[in-house]
C-alpha cells in the first residue's frame, strides 16, 4: 500500500489538483470538467482565468475522445489515456496523454510545430482560415483545437512522443495558462 502514499506525495509535490487515467467517454469528460471547475471555484479563481483553463481542458479532453487510438499494450483497456491539471502560484498546467499510431504522431508533431512558430496575430489568422475552410477530418475535427489552445494560453504547446512499440507512440501534450 506504500504506492498510495507515494502517489499522494507526488501529487502534492507537483501541485496536482486533478488526475484521471482510464477510458475517456463524453460522460467521463463532463465529470472531469465538473470536478476541475469545482476545484477552481473552491480556490476562488478569477473567472477570466477559469474560462481560459476550462477552454484548454475541453480541447484536451475532446482530442483524447476523438483521436486516441484503441491501443494499450500494458492492459486490456481500450482508449486508455491520462488527464492531469496542476496549479502553481502563477500558472495552471494542463497535461494529457494518449496512444496514437506512428503516422498520426508524425502529423501531430508537424501540426504543433507549425502552430508553435506563430505569434498571436499568426494564430488568429490561422484560426480564421480554418473557420473559413470549414473542412472536417474523418474524426469530426476541423483542426481548431491546438490553435485554440495556443491562443487561449498565449504559450507554446509542449509535447512528447514515447515509443510504445507495435507502431504506436504515447502522445503527451502540456499547455500552460498563466494566472495574470
Show the cell assigned to 92. Answer: 495552471
pTM above 0.85, yes or no: yes
Give the pLDDT confidence of 31-84 residue by residue, as tens digits.
999 999 898 999 899 999 999 999 999 999 988 887 665 555 555 444 579 999
Helix, strand, coil percentages in the chain from 3-state DSSP, rounded to 5: 50, 25, 25
| pLDDT score at 71 | 57
Residues of the chain with pLDDT under 70: 67-79, 134-142
Whether residue 131 contacts residue 122, with contact meaning beta carbons closer than 8 Å, is answered with no
Using CA atoms, how far apart are residues 125 and 13, in angstroms rounded to an integer? 39
CA 163 to chain centre: 19
Burial 61-79 (b: 16+ CB within 10 A, else e): bbbbbebbbebbeeeeeeb
**Three-state SS at 9:** helix
Domains of the chain: 2-178 (3.30.565.10)
Amino acid at each position: 500500500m506504500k504506492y498510495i502514499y507515494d502517489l499522494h506525495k507526488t501529487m502534492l509535490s507537483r501541485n496536482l489538483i486533478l488526475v484521471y487515467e482510464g477510458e475517456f467517454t463524453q460522460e467521463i469528460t463532463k465529470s472531469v470538467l465538473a470536478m476541475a471547475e469545482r476545484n477552481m471555484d473552491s480556490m476562488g479563481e478569477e473567472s477570466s482565468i477559469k474560462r481560459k483553463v476550462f477552454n484548454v481542458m475541453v480541447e484536451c479532453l475532446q482530442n483524447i475522445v476523438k483521436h486516441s487510438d484503441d491501443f494499450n499494450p500494458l492492459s486490456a483497456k481500450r482508449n486508455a489515456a491520462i488527464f492531469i491539471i496542476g496549479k502553481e502560484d502563477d500558472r495552471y498546467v494542463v497535461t494529457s496523454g494518449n496512444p496514437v499510431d506512428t503516422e498520426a504522431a508524425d502529423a501531430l508533431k508537424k501540426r504543433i510545430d507549425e502552430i508553435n512558430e506563430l505569434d498571436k496575430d499568426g494564430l488568429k489568422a490561422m484560426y480564421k482560415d480554418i473557420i473559413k475552410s470549414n473542412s472536417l477530418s474523418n474524426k469530426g475535427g476541423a483542426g481548431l483545437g491546438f490553435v485554440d489552445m495556443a491562443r487561449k494560453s498565449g504559450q507554446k504547446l509542449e509535447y512528447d512522443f514515447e515509443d510504445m512499440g507495435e507502431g504506436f507512440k504515447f502522445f503527451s501534450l502540456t499547455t500552460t495558462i498563466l494566472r495574470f
